[in-house]
């Protein structure tokens, strides 16, 4: 297909039937092919055909490399990304083996922020995801006479294209622990402009120390600001594209953002005087088109003495309650109805072996959406579990991988998606 031999409609028709990983490779054939594949019209056609590529399990590993044993400050951190392969026994619903693909070297690598940094959401390497793109962070480049100590470079990773994009450094996530539950970031997609947007809620003055008990409405309005960065905004210069918007969340927020139904979602920070322990936290949402914050009430649940986290369940917002107090010994998973803003229970099951005792468990996502099965990891991110909804069976997957330099692991489910709106050259590539 040279680009001239076939009618344009026929070319789009053919390309719209191909899997996304093939389209990603075909961009390298020629400029003509790249032009067709990066056309938003092809994205629309591809979506209408509802081609569903299989969900891939990805393992991110934080590697600590010491360049000089005498000087720890010469140590550096990098993250390796590995695609995992799953094998299930034909006559068993419980035997699942997960390994790295063909024992190959990492699929891709990229620089990471120092492992001692507080810019890690619950020790996660990945800070969020949206439509096949993922967020991580790294330390900014050190320059003479330039104080970047309080700045962070956010990275947008496209695993499908093996590309990593740097965003302009931003002051976020001070090393002072008092700010830990107030600054957040999230990546969302604005359908009205067909663009990705990075949203960061940050402290206006990170040198101004307040205690948690000082939090009130005035503190939120005075101390927090919302910064937005449009990815591939069309200017060709991403160095000055952070801009402040007048809206701030009604409460300080924390945790990893989940993008669903055109909005980013976070939980209200739990370390606040007006959010006592044992009371389910509300969800803060940010409409990507209107650029406005809103509140969503939590579900009425019996698991009030629990640790909550949000999860993306195939484009739906999920809320997980993990009873870490030992009172109910259960995990609840709820789904939000985007129309009614009401929660419906997806499943409730007991925390029992093979779960490790007294550990926080994190739901990663759907293991099998049609069956409603869930993939779960433990607090140390070293083991994987599968909950079979229809059978009510919980079992551990056999996980095999080897990386002696890894200091931390993070597992994510990756659904390949057409991200042609993130075009080459529109954002600085690492």
Span 73-89, pLDDT tens digits:
545 678 888 888 888 87
Range name among 15-19, 206-210, 384-388 with the lowest pLDDT average: 206-210
CA-to-CA dists, residue 331 to 297, 304, 323, angstroms: 19, 11, 6
Q: How confident is the model at residue 118 (pLDDT cuts 50, 70, 90)?
A: very low
In the predicted model, what is the mean pLDDT of the chain?
77
Proportion of the chain above pLDDT 70, given as a percent: 69
pLDDT-derived band of residue 160, with 50, 70 and 90 as boundaries? confident
Hunting for tokens 């701030």 — which residue is that? Answer: 248
Residue 77: its pLDDT value, please? 77
pLDDT at 196 over 60: yes
Using alpha carbons, select from 359, 283, 353 the residue that is nearest to residue 317: 283
| pLDDT for the residue 8 | 81
All residues at 6 or more sequence positions from 252 whose CB lies less than 8 Å from its CB, including other chains: 181, 182, 215, 220, 224, 268, 269, 272
CB 237 within 8 A of CB 229: no
Name the more confident of 2 and 328: 328
- The answer to whether the CB of 123 falls within 8 A of the CB of 93 is no
Model confidence at 406, pLDDT cuts 50, 70, 90, reads low
Q: What is the rounded average pLDDT of the residues 129-156?
A: 73
Other beta carbons less than 10 A from residue 96's beta carbon: 20
Average confidence (pLDDT) over 152-172: 85
Taking CA atoms, 28 is separated from 23, 33, 34, 299, 427, in Å, by 9, 8, 7, 48, 19
| Domains of the chain, CATH where assigned | 1-51 (no CATH), 52-415 (2.120.10.80)
Residue predicted with more confidence, 103 or 232: 232
In angstroms, the CA 301 to CA 260 distance is 22
Q: Does 362 or 236 have the greater pLDDT score?
A: 362
> Residue 429: what pLDDT?
46
Report the pLDDT value the prediction gives residue 14, as an integer from 0 to 100.
Answer: 83
User: Is the pLDDT confidence value at 305 over 70?
Assistant: no
Please write the tens of the pLDDT for every residue from 148-159: 456 788 999 988
Give pLDDT tens digits for 333-380.
999 998 888 999 999 998 888 988 778 899 999 998 888 999 999 888
- What local confidence, expressed as pLDDT, does residue 294 receive? 95
- Given this model, what pLDDT does residue 239 score? 44
pLDDT of res. 174: 46
Outline where DSSP puts E strands in 314-359: 316-322, 330-336, 343-350
The pTM of the full predicted model, rounded to 2 decimals, is 0.82
pLDDT (tens digit, 9 = 90+) per residue, 36-58? 887 777 777 776 665 556 688 99
Q: Is the CB of residue 365 less than 8 Å from the CB of residue 312? A: yes
């Amino acid at each position: 297909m040279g680009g001239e031999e076939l009618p344009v409609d026929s070319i789009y028709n053919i390309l719209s039937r191909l899997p996304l990983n093939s389209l990603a490779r075909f961009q390298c054939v020629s400029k003509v092919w790249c032009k067709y594949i990066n056309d938003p019209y092809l994205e629309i056609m591809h979506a209408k055909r509802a081609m569903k590529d299989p969900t891939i399990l990805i393992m991110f590993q934080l590697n600590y490399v010491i360049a000089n044993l005498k000087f720890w400050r010469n140590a550096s951190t990098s993250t390796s990304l590995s695609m995992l392969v799953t094998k299930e026994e034909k006559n068993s619903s419980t035997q699942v083996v997960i390994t790295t693909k063909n024992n190959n070297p990492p699929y891709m690598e990229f620089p990471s922020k120092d492992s001692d940094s507080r810019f890690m959401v619950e020790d996660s390497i990945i800070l969020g995801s949206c439509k096949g793109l993922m967020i991580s962070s790294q330390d900014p480049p050190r320059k003479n006479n330039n104080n970047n100590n309080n700045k962070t470079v956010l990275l947008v990773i496209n695993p499908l294209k093996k590309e990593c994009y740097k965003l302009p450094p931003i002051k976020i996530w001070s090393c002072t622990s008092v700010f830990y539950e107030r600054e957040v970031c999230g990546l969302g997609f604005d359908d009205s402009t067909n663009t990705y947007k990075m949203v960061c809620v940050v402290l206006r003055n990170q040198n101004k120390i307040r205690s948690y008990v000082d939090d009130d409405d005035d503190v939120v309005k005075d101390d927090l600001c919302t910064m937005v960065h449009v990815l591939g905004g069309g200017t060709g210069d991403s160095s000055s594209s952070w801009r402040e918007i007048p809206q701030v969340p009604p409460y300080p927020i924390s945790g990893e953002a989940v993008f669903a139904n055109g909005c980013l979602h976070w939980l209200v920070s739990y370390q606040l005087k007006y959010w006592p322990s044992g009371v389910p936290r509300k969800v803060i949402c940010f409409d990507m088109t209107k650029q406005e914050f809103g509140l969503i009430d939590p579900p009425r649940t019996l698991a009030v003495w629990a640790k909550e986290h949000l999860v993306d369940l195939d484009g739906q917002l999920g809320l997980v309650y993990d009873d870490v107090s030992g009172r109910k010994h259960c995990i609840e998973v709820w789904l939000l109805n985007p129309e009614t803003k009401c929660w419906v229970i997806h499943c409730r099951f007991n925390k029992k072996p093979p779960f490790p005792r007294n550990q926080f468990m994190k739901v990663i996502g759907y293991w099998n959406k049609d069956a409603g099965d869930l993939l779960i990891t433990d607090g140390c991110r070293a083991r994987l579990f599968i909950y079979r909804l229809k059978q009510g069976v919980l079992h551990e997957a056999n996980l095999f991988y080897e990386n002696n330099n890894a200091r931390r692991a993070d597992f994510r489910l990756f659904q390949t998606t057409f991200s042609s709106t993130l075009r080459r050259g529109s954002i600085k590539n690492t």
